Amino acid sequence: MREIVLDTETTGLDPATGDRVVEIGAVEVLNAIPTGNVFHVYINPERDMPEEAFRVHGISADFLADKPVFAQVVDDFVAFLGDANLVAHNASFDVNFLNHELKRCGKEAIPPHQVVDTLSIARRKHGGANSLDALCARYGVDSSRRTKHGALLDAELLAEVYLELTGGRQATLVLGGAGSGGDRAAGPLRHKPRPVPLAPRLTEAERAAHAAFMATFKDSVWAKVMPQPAEERPAIAAE
């Protein structure tokens, strides 16, 4: 199933009061595995950048001055999303902003049934603290590059977390080594030995019948390679 794991950066917390999207990062996944296909764009919000927002993501108004406005990238974004589910952490925040931007451009809003919220999944599964950083730590996802919020980096990290949350990385499917947070390079499946060997299925009568059958072959290859009972083995001459 094709899904889009997405994150946004904005000028603030509420689009209803004039805050705008300034960055979109989106990662395409197929059956929860990233395909390498991404959508990433910085957007001129056509307004100033509040200091508190700048401290979060480090994106300045000067940096965004020559970037396209949302109306210039909306068709590419809508085409990339298509009819795939949109996966986001605290998805209501991102979707609320995106739907405000889509409405400005006369585009259809992203419907609720198309949205997957990883924060809700994590709360049901783990309870407690479920920030992206906390989930990266829980699942052994390296987030050391995340010194500030960035939409594409956060989407890439969330794609890894989403794979773990949905049970996609199974050792038995040779996708991630032994257990969550382990070696991420695919490798050969290693079966553990049985703690108790299975009981033999052949009866003594069947063994005797087979031995009698094999005895009918003279000078056969099997007689040379198969182990012989101790009493039938030729004695080794003493030197």
Token digits for 222?
């099997």
Residue 140 belongs to a domain with what CATH number? 3.30.420.10
Would 107 be classed as within a structural domain?
yes
Q: Is the pLDDT of residue 132 over 50?
A: yes
Q: Is the pLDDT of residue 182 over 60?
A: no
Would 205 be classed as within a structural domain?
no
Question: What pLDDT is attached to residue 239?
Answer: 43
Would 83 be classed as within a structural domain?
yes
Q: Nearest to residue 130, comparing CAs of 99, 168, 162?
A: 162
Question: What pLDDT is attached to residue 204?
Answer: 83
Contact partners, residue 52, CB within 8 Å, separation at least 6: 12
Question: What pLDDT is attached to residue 196?
Answer: 64
Give start and end residues of each alpha helix (H) in 65-127. Answer: 70-81, 91-104, 118-126
Would 185 be classed as within a structural domain?
no
Question: What pLDDT is attached to residue 193?
Answer: 58
Would 129 be classed as within a structural domain?
yes
Would 208 be classed as within a structural domain?
no
Token digits for 206?
């069947």
Q: What are phi and psi of 139, to 5 degrees?
A: -100, 5
Known catalytic membership, residue 126: no
Token digits for 124?
């049901």
pLDDT greater at residue 144 or residue 122:
122
Q: Nearest to residue 20, comparing CAs of 28, 8, 31, 11?
A: 11
- Whole domain around residue 111: which residue ranges? 2-173
| Number of domains forming the structure of the chain | 1
Mean pLDDT within 30-46: 96
Q: Is the pLDDT of residue 231 over 70?
A: no
Question: What pLDDT is attached to residue 183?
Answer: 40
Would 128 be classed as within a structural domain?
yes
Question: Residue 36 belongs to what H/E stretch?
Answer: strand 33-42
| pTM for this prediction | 0.70
The catalytic position among 40, 113, 149, 191 is: 149
Mean pLDDT, the chain, whole residue set: 84
Question: What pLDDT is attached to residue 169?
Answer: 59
Would 142 be classed as within a structural domain?
yes
Question: What pLDDT is attached to residue 77?
Answer: 98
